[in-house]
Amino acid sequence: MFCYDCHEELLHNPVLLPKDIEKLALLVKLKKYSEKGKTNSKNELAGRIKLLQEIIQKGIDKIISDEKIKFK
């Protein structure tokens, strides 16, 4: 459960650095989720959402793994 203030800061206003956006844009292109123009299809958008979720999950898993190694 999130308090309202934390929820707003953490989930609605993430801080993404320019280099992170550049890398994300490259991944979107490599995965072929980019669009040249707007269409009625939501396939590319769905792909970008899944990709961002995968990035977040893998990042969390990696940090947890690294922390466990540190404290063994």
Task: Find out whether 4 and 27 touch, Cβ atoms under 8 Å.
Answer: no
Q: Which tokens go with 1?
A: 């459960």
pTM of the full predicted structure?
A: 0.77
SS3 state at 66: helix
11: pLDDT confidence band, cut at 50, 70 and 90? confident
Q: What pLDDT, in 10s, does the model give residues 12-43?
A: 777 889 999 999 999 999 999 998 888 888 99
Nearest to 31 by CA among 53, 57, 16: 53
Which residue ranges make up each domain of the chain?
Answer: 17-70
* Distance between CA atoms of residues 59 and 28, nearest Å: 17
Task: Find out whether 31 and 47 touch, Cβ atoms under 8 Å.
Answer: yes
Q: What pLDDT, in 10s, does the model give residues 52-61?
A: 999 999 999 9
